[in-house]
Amino acid sequence: MPRFYSHSTWTVKPGREDEFVAAWQEWVAWSALQGLGTSARLLRDVDDPRRFVSFGPWEDLDTVRRWRAEPGFRERVERLQALVERFEPHTLEQVAER
């Protein structure tokens, strides 16, 4: 069965990194109630500490679409966007695994 992932690249405003991490954690806690898998990750670029990458697994594409349509999604993303200069969201499908 194919697995789907939400994936975002974030460029955080200078000095707002800790606020961003806290807001992301709140967003992921809420997202878990919407079907996000338990292994969501937030990674920070060691060469550019303002750049973060997040991703998390979903069982199916319909669940991802419902999550993004929830009013709570927009509200939480707006909080995150207030802390970032750039936000690039994507939905990815797993096509191979080793």
26 within domain boundaries = yes
40 within domain boundaries = yes
98 within domain boundaries = no
Kindly state the tokens that stand for 37. Answer: 């898998």
pLDDT band at 41 (very low <50, low <70, confident <90, very high): very high
Which DSSP helix (H) or strand (E) runs through 72? Answer: helix 71-81
Which DSSP helix (H) or strand (E) runs through 44? Answer: strand 41-44
Q: What is the pLDDT of residues 56-85, one digit of tens each?
A: 999 899 999 999 999 999 999 999 999 999
**pLDDT surpasses 80 at 91:** yes
| Torsion sign across C-alpha atoms 37, 95, 48, 9 | negative
Q: Give me the domain span that covers residue 76.
A: 4-93
pLDDT at res. 98? 87
| Torsion sign across C-alpha atoms 36, 24, 89, 98 | negative
60 within domain boundaries = yes
Q: How far apart are CA 20 and CA 73, in angstroms?
A: 16
Q: What is the pLDDT of residues 16-33, one digit of tens each?
A: 999 999 999 999 999 999
What is the arithmetic mean of pLDDT over 38-61? 95
**Residues 58/5, Cβ–Cβ less than 8 Å:** yes
**Looking at residue 57, which CATH number applies to its domain?**
3.30.70.100
Q: Give me the number of domains the chain comprises.
A: 1
Amino acid type, 31: S
Provide the H-helix boundaries in 5-70. Answer: 17-33, 61-69
What is the arithmetic mean of pLDDT over 29-39? 92
